[in-house]
Each structure stands twice: as structure tokens, then as C-alpha cells.
């Protein structure tokens, strides 16, 4: 028994003691093969998954290294069955390889004929295969390159893809480092991707994934298709590319619901790609309109299912996935692995945080007591109206007033979902409100004023906070708004809140009505944010009124 920082659990989770002197070293050692699940303050939880182990294999780590690492850092003896399982799983990767063949086009080659025999007998695989060339080789229909990788992964025999890529139409792109410098980890990420061919780069929110994308484009020097989650993200990409690369406005096109430009670098939204016209995906052609040399998928963990289908058909083009996490809520991690590629680079949050590039915000939940009368109305309200009732209670207004007064010298955004509540707040606080129907001009004016510090506080609706030009603030106060994907929530948080120059962290207040479903939502948020390493505390509205923050 050693006194290591790691505890390997029988359910394949790994606990890392952050306060242990060896923890940093150990974190680095296990990062290639274990997925970080939770990172609260003392013990981080990692998980060993098949995909994680195969990712490690793809990155050149072998089972021995994984096992040695676990044994080396483990505090207690590691269950033997687990080690056997790891070795067994990892040995499955790479027994089958896809290669380019001058005569047969695409071939599936194996070092283990038993495995080949097994897979060619599988119902899902057989139709994808061509003639048997010899004992260890079989031809594959080139159009099925993606399909076969997907099916093989499902069978548990992931194939390594050595079939190479087309170069695509050349287009000169370079990074333009004027007044800024690419961070070292971003450069490593881009290089890691380029040498691996295709794959996914995992970086935490706010770590500058766009720049990794730009750097990858500079490597490829070819026409590029960028797929992003929505129009706001598309515009953000565009701005970043203009700022960071030699690309000019004319070279970048936007392909979305409102614009359909196809240019050497085209940014398309998932939404438009998955839009159906008369039952068919109308914009599928985009993949073929150009001889793309590189395809970038932003937020791979949100990639919609139909895109995978397109992606399966373009396996000969280089693909880069960018994400903060490989965990998908729909469990399609396998598709990411087989169709976009294995993980090529990741760097733990804490490391980037230590370098001062990102800082987790502090989250404060303010609990508001309902008055007796309010409680009674809440209790008798119809279930569908309950959330609205408790989220817009009068008491919240007073609390927001106090918070805004407390942070009088800082840039504050007040975010809410219900328009009448926002109007009331704007009136009470005496600050402007931006809603969905606010004209673009007015919006820009207000944002500009907020940026310069002319306006210290803004009330914005949920619609408005999706806007790309939403300025950064140090304080955010959320008064209402049920949450969709928890992932999205954290990302938005990361975008709005930047650490202040004096090192003080940003604060995110959420005002919650006690003993209502508002509080239940808050509990989920607490768990998620705490797992992400944000600090979280709860205070009573009464304390706020007494000036205790």
C-alpha cells in the first residue's frame, strides 16, 4: 500500500485527492485516459470508460502505462479484475485498421484474423464490405468509411483510421498576432490535432477554443467549413477570426437562417443544417459545394444527430471537434469518437486557471421568504403557473435593489425571464431594460454605454442575453429563468463573467424563493456548479437587508 492521491473504486470511478502533494502530477498522468466528471473542492472524480481508454490508445498510451499509473498513484490495492478489464479493453483498439490501398481503394486490415472473422460475420458490417483480399485484408466501400467505423465501435472493435485525407482547396490562412499571443496550450492543442489527423480538442469554457480553431485553420491553409450551435456563436466566430487571422470580411461567409453565403471560410449553424424541407435535409449540399480542407465542429457535445449522418459521409476530410466536455447528455459519445475522431488534446481546468486565463465565479444563492399571503396564493396556484408565481414575487424586487446598491461601482447585469417583472425592476432600479423587442440600434447604444461604464446596470431578458454583443460584467443577478441544459448555463455564465483586473472574482447572484420549486431548480444548479468547481453559498434575504453579503 502506498500513500498516493488516487483511490480506484470498483465502479470504475477514480477519486483524486486534490490536497495531496502529488495531485498535480497525478492529474496529469491520468488525464489521457480518465474523464473528469466532477471537480469540487477536495476530491475530484474521474471515470474510466471504454472510449476514454481508446482515446488514450489513439494518443499512443498503452494499457501497461495506464495500469502502471493507476498502481503507482493508488492509495489502496487496485482490484485485479479492473486492471484485467482495462488491458482487455485497450487491446481491442487498433486490431483493425482502415488503410488506403492503391488497388482496392479503402481496405480493412487486421493483425488478428479472429477479430476480422468475427466482424465480417456481423450483420451490420457485412453490407459495408467488398471482396476479401487475403486472410488479413478485406476491401471496404469507400463511401462507407464513416459507417464502418461507427459499426465497428458498436461491436467493440474500434478501427484506427490511417486512410488519410484529401487536402481540399488551398486557401491561405495565417494567424495574425498583433497585440495578442496564442497561448501555449492553444498551440499544443492545434498541433496535437494536426498530427492526429482528425479528432477532438477538449478545453474548458473560456479557454479560447476559437483560437485553437483558427490555429488549426492556419495549419490546414485550406477552405474551411465551421459548424456552430447558433447565429450568435456564428457571429462570435466571425469576429474572432477577423481579429485573430489574416482572413478578411469578404472571405468569411455566414450560412444561417437569415444569410446563405458560401465563401472560402463558411460558418454554418446546426439549426440550418438540420432544417428539413419537404422531409429532406435541404442544406446537406453545403458539405459538397466546396472542396473543404477542414471541417470544424464547435461544441461537439451538442452536435445534433443528423449532423453525424452527414459527417459519416465526409470521412476523407479533416475534422476538428471543439468542446468543453466529451460527455453528451444523449449518450452519443461513441459517434463523436468514431466519426469525428478520438480526443487529441485536453488540459485540466485547474491548470488553465492556475495560469490565470480563467477564473471560476462565485455563486451566491439568495433565499427570499414569501409572505404568508404569497405562500397561500402559491400553494393554491395551478401547477403550470406556480413557477411564474414564485419567480416573480414582489419580495425579490427589494432584494435586487439591495444587491445593486451594494455593488454600486461595478458593472451589473440583471437577468430575468418574465417581461413584466423586468419592466418593474427597470422602473424600481431606474435603469434601462433590453428585451427581445428592443430595436437593434437602441440595443447597441445601451451596450456601448454599458461598456464604457456610462451605464452601470442593465436589466436584460433571456432573449437579450443570447445576444452575441452582450457585454461582460462582473456582477450578474438572475431573478427568474428555468434552465435548459445545465451545460449551456455554465457556458453563458463563463461568457458574461470575467475576472476583474484586480483579481477579484466575478459574482453570480441568483435570487430564489424559499420552499418553492424555484428552490428545487436552484438545488440542481448548485450541484452542477459545485461539480464544476465554482464556489457556492446561500444567504438569506434578511441578511442582505442588513447589509451582510
Partner 1 sequence: MEIRSYADYLRALDDAAFISIFTHRPDLVTPVPPDIASLAVRASSAPSLARAVDGLNKWQLQVLEACAVLNEPFSEKELTSCTDKSAIFTLPGLIERGLLYQDKDGLRIPTTLREVLGNEIAGLGPASMGALKLKKLDEAPASSKKVLDAMLWGPPRGTIGDIKKPGAGVQWLLDENFLIPFNQTTVVLPREVAIYLRGNKVHRELETFAPPVTGESRNPKSVQLAAIANITTFLRWTEEVLNFWAQEPPTALRSGGLGVRDLKELSLHLGVDESCAAFVAEVSYLAGLLTIDPDDKILPTHQFDIWLLQNPAVRWQQLLSAWLISSRMSGLVGKEGSKNVAPLGPELDRSLAASTRKLVLNLLCENSEIAPDSQSLYMTAQWLMPNKRSGGVQEDYILWTLREAEWFGITGQGAISAYGIDFLNGGDSAAIISDLPQSVDHILIQSDNTAIAPGPLEHEVAQELALIADIESRGGATVYRFSESSIRRGLDHGRTGEEITKFLKKTSKTPMPQPLEYLIADVAKKHGKLRVGNTVSFIRCEDSVLITQILGDKRLDVLGFRKIAPEVLICGHDAAEAMSVLRSFGYLPAGEDSRGLLLSGPRIQRAQTKARPPRIIGEIDKPDEIQIQNALRALRTGEKSSRKQSTMRNIATEALGSLPRTTANETLELLSGYLQNQPATSLSIGYADNNGLVSHRIVDPLKLSAGSLIARDHATGEVQTFRIARITGVAAL
Interface with partner 1 (CB under 8 A): 1, 7-11, 13, 15, 17, 38, 40-43, 45, 74-80, 365, 367, 372, 375-376, 379-380, 515, 523, 526-527, 530-531, 535-538
Q: In what order do the strands lie in the sheet with 159-162?
A: 129-134, 137-140, 105-110, 96-101, 159-162
- Give me the least distance between CB of 378 and partner 1, in Å please: 9
- Give me the least distance between CB of 11 and partner 1, in Å please: 5
SS3 of 302-359: the string is: HCCHHHHHHHHCCCCCEEEEEECCCCCCCCCHHHHHHHHCCEEEECCHHHHHHCCCCC
> Nearer Cβ to partner 1, position 83 or 139?
83
> Which residue in this structure is represented by grid cell 483511490?
7
Q: Who contacts 2 (Cβ-Cβ below 8 Å, separation ≥6)?
A: 72, 73, 74, 75
> Nearer Cβ to partner 1, position 376 or 405?
376
- Give me the least distance between CB of 250 and partner 1, in Å please: 49
412: three-class secondary structure by DSSP: strand
> Nearer Cβ to partner 1, position 74 or 474?
74
From CA 96, how far away is CA 119, in angstroms rounded? 10
- Give me the least distance between CB of 7 and partner 1, in Å please: 4
SS3 of 421-434: the string is: HHHHHHHHHCCCEE
- Give me the least distance between CB of 418 and partner 1, in Å please: 23
- Give me the least distance between CB of 346 and partner 1, in Å please: 21
C-alpha angle 116/121/125, rounded to 5°? 85
Eight-state DSSP code of residue 143: G
- Give me the least distance between CB of 189 and partner 1, in Å please: 28
- Give me the least distance between CB of 217 and partner 1, in Å please: 38
- Give me the least distance between CB of 387 and partner 1, in Å please: 14
Q: Is the dihedral of CA 487, 492, 493, 494 positive or negative?
A: positive
> Nearer Cβ to partner 1, position 251 or 365?
365
Question: Distances in Å between the alpha carbon of 165 and those of 156, 292, 294?
Answer: 25, 11, 10
- Give me the least distance between CB of 279 and partner 1, in Å please: 41
- Give me the least distance between CB of 365 and partner 1, in Å please: 8
Q: Which of 352, 351, 341, 275 is nearest to 311 (CA)?
A: 341
Backbone dihedral region for residue 324 (phi beyond 0: left; psi -120 to 50: alpha; all else: beta): alpha
Cβ–Cβ < 8 Å for 326, 248: no
> Nearer Cβ to partner 1, position 449 or 530?
530
C-alpha cell at 152: 465497428
From CA 220, how far away is CA 230, in angstroms rounded? 25
> Nearer Cβ to partner 1, position 74 or 338?
74
- Give me the least distance between CB of 115 and partner 1, in Å please: 23
Q: What would the DSSP string read from start to end of 174-226? A: -B--SS----HHHHHHHHHHHHHSSEEEE--TTS-HHHHHHHHHHHH-B-EEE
> Nearer Cβ to partner 1, position 79 or 453?
79
Q: Who contacts 81 (Cβ-Cβ below 8 Å, separation ≥6)?
A: none
Q: Determine the straight-line distance between the first and last CA of the chain, rounded to whole angstroms.
A: 46
- Give me the least distance between CB of 64 and partner 1, in Å please: 13
Which residues partner with 107 through β-bridges?
A: 99, 139
> Nearer Cβ to partner 1, position 9 or 398?
9
- Give me the least distance between CB of 20 and partner 1, in Å please: 10
> Nearer Cβ to partner 1, position 80 or 277?
80
> Nearer Cβ to partner 1, position 64 or 472?
64
Q: Which of 356, 391, 327 is nearest to 531 (CA)?
A: 327
> Nearer Cβ to partner 1, position 76 or 180?
76
> Nearer Cβ to partner 1, position 245 or 516?
516
> Nearer Cβ to partner 1, position 150 or 532?
532
120: three-class secondary structure by DSSP: helix
**408 exposure class (CB count in 10 Å sphere: 0-12, 13-18, 19+):** exposed
From CA 349, how far away is CA 390, in angstroms rounded? 36
> Nearer Cβ to partner 1, position 10 or 248?
10
Give the chain's length.
549
Amino acid at each position: 500500500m502506498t500513500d498516493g492521491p488516487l483511490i480506484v473504486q470498483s465502479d470504475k470511478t477514480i477519486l483524486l485527492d486534490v490536497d495531496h502533494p502529488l495531485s498535480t502530477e497525478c492529474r496529469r498522468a491520468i488525464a489521457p485516459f480518465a474523464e473528469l466528471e466532477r471537480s469540487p473542492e477536495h476530491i475530484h472524480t474521474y471515470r474510466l470508460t471504454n472510449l476514454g481508454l481508446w482515446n488514450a490508445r489513439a494518443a499512443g498510451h498503452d494499457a501497461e502505462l495506464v495500469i502502471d499509473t493507476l498502481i503507482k498513484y493508488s492509495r489502496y490495492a487496485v482490484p485485479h479484475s479492473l486492471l484485467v478489464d482495462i488491458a482487455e479493453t485497450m487491446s481491442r483498439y487498433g486490431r483493425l485498421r482502415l488503410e488506403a490501398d492503391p488497388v482496392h481503394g479503402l481496405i480493412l486490415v487486421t493483425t488478428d484474423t479472429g477479430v476480422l472473422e468475427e466482424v465480417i460475420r456481423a450483420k451490420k458490417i457485412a453490407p459495408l464490405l467488398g471482396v476479401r483480399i487475403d486472410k488479413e485484408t478485406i476491401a471496404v466501400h469507400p463511401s462507407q468509411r464513416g459507417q464502418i467505423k461507427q459499426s465497428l465501435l458498436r461491436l467493440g472493435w474500434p478501427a484506427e483510421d490511417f486512410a488519410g485525407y484529401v487536402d481540399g482547396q488551398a486557401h491561405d490562412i495565417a494567424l495574425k498576432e498583433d497585440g495578442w499571443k496564442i497561448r501555449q496550450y492553444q498551440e499544443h492543442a492545434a498541433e496535437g490535432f494536426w498530427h492526429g489527423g482528425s479528432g477532438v480538442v477538449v478545453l474548458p469554457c473560456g479557454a479560447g477554443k476559437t483560437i485553437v480553431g483558427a490555429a488549426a485553420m492556419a495549419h490546414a491553409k485550406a477552405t474551411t467549413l465551421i459548424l456552430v450551435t447558433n447565429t450568435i456563436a456564428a457571429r462570435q466566430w466571425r469576429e474572432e477570426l477577423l481579429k485573430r487571422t489574416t482572413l478578411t470580411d469578404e472571405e468569411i461567409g455566414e450560412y444561417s437562417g437569415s444569410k446563405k453565403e458560401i465563401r472560402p471560410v463558411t460558418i454554418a449553424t446546426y439549426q440550418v443544417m438540420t432544417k428539413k424541407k419537404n422531409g429532406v435535409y435541404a442544406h446537406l449540399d453545403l458539405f459538397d459545394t466546396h472542396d473543404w480542407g477542414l471541417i470544424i465542429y464547435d461544441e461537439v457535445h451538442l452536435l445534433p444527430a443528423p449532423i453525424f449522418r452527414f459527417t459519416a459521409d465526409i470521412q476523407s476530410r479533416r475534422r476538428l471537434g471543439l468542446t468543453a466536455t466529451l460527455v453528451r447528455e444523449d449518450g452519443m459519445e461513441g459517434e463523436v469518437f468514431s466519426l469525428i475522431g478520438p480526443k487529441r488534446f485536453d488540459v485540466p481546468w485547474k491548470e488553465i486557471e492556475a495560469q490565470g486565463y480563467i477564473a471560476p465565479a462565485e455563486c451566491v444563492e439568495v433565499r427570499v421568504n414569501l409572505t404568508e399571503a404569497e405562500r397561500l396564493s402559491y400553494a393554491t396556484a395551478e401547477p403550470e403557473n406556480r413557477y411564474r408565481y414564485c419567480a416573480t414575487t414582489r419580495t425579490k424586487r427589494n432584494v435586487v435593489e439591495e444587491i445593486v446598491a451594494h455593488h454600486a461601482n461595478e458593472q451589473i447585469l440583471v437577468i430575468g425571464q418574465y417581461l413584466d417583472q423586468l419592466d418593474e425592476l427597470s422602473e424600481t432600479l431606474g435603469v434601462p431594460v433590453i428585451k427581445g423587442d428592443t430595436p437593434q440600434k437602441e440595443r447597441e447604444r445601451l451596450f456601448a454605454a454599458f461598456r464604457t461604464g456610462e451605464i452601470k446596470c442593465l436589466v436584460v431578458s433571456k432573449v437579450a442575453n443570447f445576444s452575441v454583443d452582450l457585454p461582460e460584467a462582473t456582477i450578474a443577478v438572475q431573478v427568474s429563468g428555468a434552465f435548459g441544459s445545465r451545460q449551456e448555463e455554465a457556458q453563458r455564465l463563463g461568457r458574461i463573467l470575467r475576472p476583474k483586473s484586480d483579481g477579484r472574482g466575478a459574482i453570480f447572484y441568483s435570487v430564489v424563493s424559499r420552499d418553492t420549486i424555484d428552490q428545487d431548480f436552484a438545488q440542481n444548479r448548485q450541484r452542477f456548479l459545485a461539480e464544476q468547481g465554482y464556489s457556492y453559498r446561500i444567504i438569506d434575504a434578511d441578511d442582505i437587508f442588513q447589509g451582510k453579503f
